[in-house]
Amino acid sequence: MAAKRGRTAQRLELGLQLRQLRENCDAGHQGTGITRKQAVVGLRISEASLQRIETGSLNFRNVGDLRKLLNKYGVTDEEVVESLINLNKESNQQDWLTQYRGLMPAGMPGFVGLEPEARSMKAYHPTVVYGLLQTKAYAQATHESHKPIEEYTTEFIRNSVELRMKRQEVLTRENPVRLHVILGEAALRYPVGGLDVMAEQYAKIEEMSGWDHITIQVLSFRRSYRSTNDFAILDFGTELPPRVQTDSAWGSVSSSDKPGEVDRFHRRFNAMAASALPPEDTPDFLHRLKREL
């Protein structure tokens, strides 16, 4: 039996289906679909709300509006209607991520909520060890270093570290996510939390690099092309469109499933993967760094 999908994935699936129905319904001229502005006429939701529903950020509070919308789109099959209503209902239930949503920057909950649904992930970070590879001590030290600047509370740091460790369960569960990470050399050389913390972090990366479903490469200073911004790409197979996430200088997170944008980040990742040290060299590189501590 397939595992029950998370709330974020359910919202995205609902939004994707509704967007496709709107764009292909016969209500428009010559069956070319209708705009969101046309779609919300007579409903108790705004055009902006429909846009958020279609992108998986919101669901219907009133099932009657969803029924009216489906009727406007020409959906008459009651099984399809009930299926979408149930999807809307289930996507409104609380899940494991609910208690952590207030800890994350804008845009991040939607991405984190999709990590368990992914079949594979590609991630790059130029200056910090990628979160799914971090030890608890490294994650703690990273947050502590930002405490005076971001004015984090002790409770905030504790809960944030707990969330980061919980996210790593996608790598240790049955049928784990396949992960390919590229770390900039600076991410491994930048001292976080002292020698013991770094030594433990090197050991964890080396251990994980030996797992069958994880590939870790190092992009050394001497290599050519490198992206200045960190990013991650989630692939869901045929279930949902692939999605890319990147951090901004303002602390928020942007994500997109637009094919052109996802393809651009795939090209960036592939260029760095071709330039980075081969995965089998990662343990030796870490050993050299450990000797330099």
Distance from C-alpha of 257 to C-alpha of 55, rounded to nearest angstrom: 9
Q: In Å, what is the CA distance from 282 to each residue of 111, 131, 140? A: 28, 18, 24
Tokens 């299926």 correspond to 83
54 & 197 share domain: no
164 & 280 share domain: yes
191 & 227 share domain: yes
258 & 196 share domain: yes
Q: pLDDT (tens digit, 9 = 90+) per residue, 100-130? A: 878 888 778 878 888 988 999 999 999 999 9
Question: What domain range includes position 67?
Answer: 7-92
pLDDT of res. 31: 60
Distance from C-alpha of 19 to C-alpha of 119, rounded to nearest angstrom: 24
pLDDT of res. 99: 84
pLDDT of res. 4: 53
Q: In Å, what is the CA distance from 117 to each residue of 44, 109, 269, 278? A: 32, 14, 21, 28
Of 92, 126, 145, the one marking the end of a domain is 92
Q: In Å, what is the CA distance from 241 to each residue of 6, 13, 62, 137? A: 16, 10, 27, 35
Distance from C-alpha of 175 to C-alpha of 172, rounded to nearest angstrom: 8
pLDDT of res. 275: 95
Stated pTM of the model = 0.78
Cross-strand partners of 235: 120
135 & 195 share domain: yes
Distance from C-alpha of 177 to C-alpha of 174, rounded to nearest angstrom: 9
Residue 98 lies in a domain: no
The domain total for the chain is 2
Identify the CATH number of the domain in which residue 208 sits. Answer: 3.30.870
pLDDT of res. 30: 61
180 & 258 share domain: yes
Residue 99 lies in a domain: no
122 & 31 share domain: no
Residue 15 lies in a domain: yes
Identify the CATH number of the domain in which residue 87 sits. Answer: 1.10.260.40
113 & 74 share domain: no
Q: pLDDT (tens digit, 9 = 90+) per residue, 140-181? A: 999 999 999 888 999 999 999 999 999 999 999 999 999 999
pLDDT of res. 3: 47
Distance from C-alpha of 104 to C-alpha of 220, rounded to nearest angstrom: 30
Q: Is the distance from CB of 171 to CB of 214 less than 8 angstroms?
A: yes
pLDDT of res. 17: 86
Residue 100 lies in a domain: no
74 & 121 share domain: no
197 & 221 share domain: yes
Of 63, 92, 121, the one marking the end of a domain is 92
Residue 101 lies in a domain: no
Residue 2 lies in a domain: no
pLDDT of res. 2: 41
Task: Tell me the one-letter amino acid at 228.
Answer: T
132 & 277 share domain: yes
Q: Three-state SS across the chain? A: CCCCCCHHHHHHHHHHHHHHHHHHCCCCHHHCCCCHHHHCCCCCCCHHHHHHHHCCCCCCCCHHHHHHHHHHCCCCCHHHHHHHHHHHHHCCCCCCCHHHHHHCCCCHHHHHCCHHHCCEEEEEECCCCCHHHCCHHHHHHHHHHHHHHHCCCHHHHHHHHHHHHHHHHHHCCCCCCEEEEEEEHHHHHCCCCCHHHHHHHHHHHHHHHCCCCEEEEEECCCCCCCCCCCEEEEECCCCCCCEEEEECCCCCEEEECCHHHHHHHHHHHHHHHHHCCCHHHHHHHHHHHHHHC
pLDDT of res. 163: 94
Of 66, 92, 118, the one marking the end of a domain is 92
Q: Provide block-wise average pLDDT over 10 residues at a time, the chain (293 residues).
A: 64 86 77 87 93 86 91 90 85 74 81 90 98 98 92 92 96 97 97 96 98 98 88 91 86 86 97 97 97 90
249 & 273 share domain: yes
Residue 220 lies in a domain: yes
Residue 65 lies in a domain: yes
